[in-house]
Structure 1
Amino acid sequence: MFDGEYQVTGRASGGTSEGPQPDRAGRLLGLSPSGFHEIAYVDWGPVDDIRPVICVHGVTRQARDFDHLAADLAASGRRVICPDLPGRGRSGRISNPDDYSLPQYCSDMNALVARLGVKEVDWVGTSLGGLIGIVMAGFSGSIVRKLVINDIGPFVSATGLRRIGGYIADMPTAFATIEDGEKYFRTVLAPYGYLADEHWRHLAIHSLRWEEANGHYAALCDPAIAKAFKTPWFYAPLDLWKYWEAIKVPMLVLHGAKSDLLSIDLTNEMRRRNRRADIFRFDDRGHVPPLVTPDQIKVVTDFLKAPPRDFSEVG
């Protein structure tokens, strides 16, 4: 059974989550140039599934964002692994902020796949998790068999990257109550679009941790991540087209029509440069469709459940 470590309990919030709960949790060690760090993950569904689904979150988010999607997939017999990237959620922080980078995240996720001991995975990546998925699927010998990219593309402008860095730099590190945290997340995540109150509460609860010694709720995101956006990785646009064009498996690109990071023109270019990609557009969402409502979940699960397509005539 899951040990409950990820629940925020007690205090003035009345804040335990009544949403879906994982079956198991685990940890492994990642390695950066500045040393080892822990990678935490939650684990859903049957352990004997030979092709688990890996769900990776966005730049300031954490594994429990995928609870509703993971519960649905687990109910249909799929194993789902949702990790916290380093510096987020219950994973350890990296001592040198310069190491918060795409190569490091790919290395950590490869270590996670190795821990699972499987030969194939499906991948669902939201924003930063999608960028990691593009690289992981684009490498020669990749074990990714289906790829879902949530509102990100293989090209991200330097302007967009700097905007994200500024947003992270302004992120509060602590909140007096869960309600204060929920108010903040409702504001900063407003591009998600309409969500029911219980969904907003779920997101807030799993984004915070009560710290008795300090008498407040701490945000589960290392503020030093903002410093990574000042490194040379982000002085120029992020260009992953070579990985995108090398992907040989079915892909589904989810697009929030109001997104400021993924444009319609870019989705068209993605389709043109790799015909294995299908595009699904949510007209009432921005960056990103949060994958918690039944209609959003169904789009993803239908794609993952569909039989393999014949790409024999695709170059």
Structure 2
Amino acid sequence: MHEPRLNHVQCLDSRGLHGMAYWEWGDAANPKVLVCVHGLSRQGRDFDTLARAMLGEYRVVCPDVAGRGQSDWLADPMGYQLPAYVADMVTLLARLNAQTVHWVGTSMGGLIGLGLASLPKSPIGRLVLNDVGPTLRPEAIARIGAYLGLPLHWATLEEAADYMLSISQGFGTHTREQWLALTRPMLKADGAGFKPHYDPQIAVPFRAMTPELASAGEAALWKGYDAIRCPTLLLRGADSDLLTRDIALAMTQRGPKAQLHEFADVGHAPMLVVPQQVAVVREYLLGP
């Protein structure tokens, strides 16, 4: 079983520097680079299964976005926002010496990819947006906000896995073994048990969002999406409460005119662990 290498890169923020961790798979000299970026409360080990499937063709890099996993927590919680995350990824790509990359982003990781792909001279050559678009349903935002940043503690891995499952019904069906593998990196040792791996302060800017700010953010994301020029695949859980079918269809008509693939019996978001989901991503990234 292949295991990743853990590396760190220093990134600039409003209060100084913070270290961003990234998990690297495959040949470090391979010029073909695939960057996989996780969702709001997740971390880079979510992509272990996909990375193992792709490391024969790519150098696969899976960052822990600031405040998550093995990365440093920010001194200023208002730094937990998309423009800062995009800037961190530019620093990461410089460290990797990657001229062009392929990008898989789940939820927040997709929005970071959208932001980077929309820039003139963007290094992203092929983009996969996993269950996210410029318009986010407020019901889903409220659902996520209900558990984000809670002071949680679990006595055992099994107890933590059961809790994670209770808030992650949209991820679809996984075996217990797959679910435990998705849960382990989500935990930090805390006394005799475990707590969540992320800085609870990532919830601060999330909770500070007003309807006016949300509307301005949506307009900016659509403007960014319309500026994307690289081939784009849009994945959607058919039962997603974050990305509606109408928005997904609009994304096939605008900007990069994304190719849409929906997964039945999955909500927000497909975890790219089950073989069918991995196969769709693999075929797209390696296809003509």
TM over 0.5: same fold? yes
Classify the secondary structure of the residue corresponding to 2:23: strand
TM-score (norm 1): 0.86
Classify the secondary structure of the residue corresponding to 1:272: coil
Aligned-partner Cα distance in 2 for 1:274–1:31: 31
Q: Which has the larger helix fraction?
A: 2
Residue of 236, 250, 267 corresponding to 2:214: 236
> What's 1:175 paired with?
154
5 Å matches for 1:15-26?
A: 20-22=2-4, 24-26=5-7
Classify the secondary structure of the residue corresponding to 2:252: helix
Classify the secondary structure of the residue corresponding to 2:132: coil
5 Å matches for 1:1-315?
A: 20-22=2-4, 24-74=5-55, 76-158=56-138, 160-169=140-149, 171-211=150-190, 214-232=191-209, 235-237=213-215, 238-239=217-218, 240-307=221-288
Contact conserved, 2:230 with 2:256, CA < 8 A, in 1? no
Aligned-partner Cα distance in 1 for 2:37–2:240: 19
Aligned-partner Cα distance in 2 for 1:236–1:133: 19
Classify the secondary structure of the residue corresponding to 1:174: coil
Contact conserved, 1:51 with 1:119, CA < 8 A, in 2? no
Deviation, structure 1 residue 173: 3.1
Contact conserved, 1:46 with 1:77, CA < 8 A, in 2? no
Aligned-partner Cα distance in 2 for 1:232–1:281: 29
RMSD after superposition: 1.6
Deviation, structure 1 residue 42: 0.6
Contact conserved, 1:97 with 1:227, CA < 8 A, in 2? yes
> What's 1:6 paired with?
none
Aligned-partner Cα distance in 2 for 1:291–1:236: 28
TM-score (norm 2): 0.94
Flag the 1:178–1:114 CA change in 2: closer, same or farther, 3 A: same
Provide the aligned length of Structure 1 versus Structure 2.
284
Q: Name which one, 1 or 2, has greater alpha-carbon Rg.
A: 1
Structure 2 unpaired stretches of 5+: none
Deviations 1:143-184 (A, max 9, x none): 100000000001224554344223204x44321111111111
- Letter aligned with residue 23 of structure 2: V
Structure 1 unpaired stretches of 5+: 1-18, 308-315
